[in-house]
Amino acid sequence: AEGSLVPGAPDLPYRETYYVTVPWVSGQPTIEVVSNGAVLESYPVYPLWPNLVRTSQLPEEGSDFRLIDGGNGQLSTFNGKDIEGTAVLVDFTCGTDWLNAPRLGAKALLFVEPETTTRGEAESKFLRIPINIPRYWIGRSDAYHLQARLASQPEVTVRIKCRMSWERKHAWNIVAEIPGTDPELSKQTIYLTAYYDSMSIVPQLAPGAESASGAASLLEITRVLTKYR
């Protein structure tokens, strides 16, 4: 039964439904290499966590950009390059140097998947003000293909498509009750909780390892407590 205890069986789990507003991705965002209206190749990309409330959403038909390689994002990387209106490939492990690209006129960022990274690196990739800077994660091997194309031809145009909006979604608290057998202590209640949602700088790729560990521990505690009430 949803939202209420099952009569006569208080130890059975039930769900409490509520709403949560989340950045929601519709379909699979892509980056396409285009030439004379034809799509030459296409790779999946994944929008990063919003800048406060501003998501990395683009027009439904996508947006075209001239692509450049921004390396580690340091200013010296952009010497001699026309940055205005471009989409820039940049190493994810660049700290806050990625901000140099939009300061010079870039309109979109593509962060290349690193071999390893840290939470601090991830937290430096979104801002706490609603600036419209579309930012995406791209797989390392896919980025290598784009970088190879950049090295072999003078100009590369890409079309990025992404629909990421705020949507109101159902979520649930999953609740179980284990009645105690002691005449006095059974009148008291102890709450044990664990969260099972997961946050990531790349919402579509949230791994959830920490959340899974907490949920698994709570389930094991529940299994034991049902034997020792």
- The b/e string for 117-131 (b: 16+ C-beta within 10 A; e otherwise) is eeeebbebbbbeeee
Token readout for 73 is: 């994002």
User: Which tens digit of pLDDT belongs to each residue from 126-166?
Assistant: 999 999 999 999 999 999 999 999 999 989 999 999 999 99
φ/ψ region of 37 (left if φ > 0, alpha if ψ in -120 to 50, else beta) reads: left
CA separation for the pair 216, 222 (Å, rounded):
10
Which own/partner pairs from 121-126 qualify as long-range (CB within 8 Å, at least 24 positions apart)?
121/92, 121/93, 121/95, 122/200, 122/201, 123/201, 124/95, 124/96, 125/48, 125/49, 125/92, 125/98, 125/201, 126/48, 126/49, 126/50, 126/51, 126/201
pLDDT per residue as tens digits for the range 87-123: 999 999 999 999 999 999 999 999 999 999 999 999 9
Residue 209 has pLDDT above 60, yes or no: yes
Per-residue pLDDT, 11: 54
Distances (CA, A) of 28 to 6, 60, 69, 162, 164: 40, 12, 23, 7, 10
Q: How far is CA 61 from CA 36, 65, 67, 100, 160, in A?
A: 16, 13, 18, 28, 9
What is the per-residue pLDDT across 30-85, written as a single tens digit (0 to 9) for each?
Answer: 999 999 989 999 999 999 999 999 999 999 999 999 999 999 999 999 999 999 99
**Pairing, β 38-47 against β 135-138:** antiparallel
Length of the chain in residues, anyone?
229
- pLDDT averaged over every residue in the chain: 93
